[in-house]
Copies of this chain bind each other. A is one copy, B any other.
């Protein structure tokens, strides 16, 4: 059940086809998941979103691909985004996340959720030593 209508034969639109082809080439797989299929209702939004995700997640950068997926899961869990949790947990497993690593990830995510609540409740002043502003460390 979605708020948008799934477009049948979306790839008859050349802008959609170009994005889907790039997704397939980037991932070396014919599978297109529902996010992109449904997003095809607006080709411009599809293009912008895929370019944004691709440039961050599929291009080599300072953090390795698996670490980026773990961070993505952490944000998605905290935002209670069901689809994102499922898709990025699957992506992390595909990039090598073992059950042991997943349990460790859950442990960190849960601990952060626990102490975030304590600090948001207690409103403790931030230690000046944490300030990076003006080059101070």
Contact = CB atoms under 8 A, between A and B. Distances in A.
A19 interface: no
B113 A75 contact: yes
A127 B67 CA distance: 23
A39 to B, nearest CB: 7
B85 A3 contact: yes
**A contact patch SS:** helix
A85 B134 CA distance: 18
Contacts of A88: 112
15 contacts: A6-B135, A31-B129, A34-B127, A35-B124, A42-B103, A56-B107, A72-B112, A75-B113, A78-B78, A79-B116, A79-B120, A80-B81, A81-B119, A109-B121, A113-B114
